[in-house]
Amino acid sequence: MTENSKNEEGTEKKDEIEEEEQVKEDTDVKTDIEEPKAKFTFKCTRSDKCCLTRGPIPITLWDLELWARNGVVANFLPYLDIYSKPDGGIDLVLKPLPPAPKEGEEEKPRDPFGTVPIEDLLEVKCPLYNKEKKECLVYDNRPLSCRTYPLEFDGKNFTVVDVECPGIGEEGMTKDDLKEMRDIAKQMFYELTRMRISLPVLSQLISQKVMMDLMRQNMEAMSKMSEEDRSKLDEILKKEQEPQPE
* Three-state DSSP string of the chain: CCHHHHHHHHHHHHHHHHHHHHHHHHHHHHHHCCCCCCCCCECCCCCCHHHHCCCCEECCHHHHHHHHHHCCHHHHHHHEEEEECCCCCEEEEECCCCCCCCCCCCCCCCCCCCCCCHHHHCCCCCCCEECCCCEECCHHHCCHHHHHCCEEECCCCEEECCCCCCCECCCCCCHHHHHHHHHHHHHHHHHHHHHHHHHHHHHHHHHHHHHHHHHHHHHHHHHCCCHHHHHHHHHHHHHHHCCCCC
Note whether residue 188 is domain-resident: yes
Q: Is the pLDDT of residue 52 over 70?
A: yes
Is residue 13, in this structure, part of any structural domain at all? no
- Do 221 and 180 lie in one domain? The reply is no
- Residue 27 placed within a domain: no
Asked if residue 228 and residue 143 are part of one domain, the reply reads: no
Q: Higher confidence at residue 224 or residue 140? A: 140
Same-domain pairing of 78 and 148:
yes
Question: How does residue 29 score in pLDDT terms, banded at 50, 70 and 90?
Answer: very low
- Per-residue model confidence as pLDDT tens digits over 154-206: 999 999 988 888 888 888 888 999 999 999 999 999 999 999 999 888 888 88
Q: Do residues 145 and 214 both lie within one domain?
A: no
- 4 inside domain: no
Taking the CB of residue 121, how many other CB atoms lie within 10 A of it?
A: 20
Q: Are 155 and 193 members of one domain?
A: yes
Within a domain: 44: no
* Other beta carbons less than 10 A from residue 141's beta carbon: 19
Judged against a pLDDT cut of 80, whether residue 232 lies above it is answered with: no
Burial profile 176-200: b = 16 or more Cβ within 10 angstroms, e = fewer:
eeeeebeebbebbbebbeebbeebe
Cβ atoms 231, 97 nearer than 8 A? no
Are both 149 and 227 inside the same structural domain? Answer: no
**What percent of the chain is modeled with pLDDT above 70?**
72
Between 9 and 194, where is the model more confident? Answer: 194
120 and 75: one domain?
A: yes
Residue 150 above 60 pLDDT? yes
Q: Are residues 133 and 57 in the same domain?
A: yes
Q: Output the pLDDT for position 35.
A: 42
pLDDT digits (tens, 9 = 90+) for 56-76: 899 999 999 999 999 999 999
> Is residue 33 domain-resident?
no
User: How many domains does the chain contain in total?
Assistant: 2
Domain carrying residue 209: 205-234
Q: Say which residue, 31 or 115, is predicted with more confidence.
A: 115
85 and 125 co-located in one domain: yes
Summarize the confidence of residues 205-215 as an average pLDDT.
83
pLDDT for res 169 = 87
Whether residue 160 lies inside any domain: the answer is yes
Average pLDDT rounded to a whole number, residues 78-88: 85
Residue 10 has pLDDT above 60, yes or no: no
Output Rg (C-alpha) for the chain, integer angstroms. Answer: 32
- Segment 79-85 shows an average pLDDT of 87
- 140 and 118 housed in the same domain: yes
Question: Under a CB-based contact definition with an 8 Å cutoff, are residues 118 and 83 in contact?
Answer: yes
**Can you give the pLDDT at residue 113?**
45
Same domain membership, residue 161 and residue 221: no
Residues 199 and 210 in one domain: no
Q: Is residue 239 part of a domain?
A: no
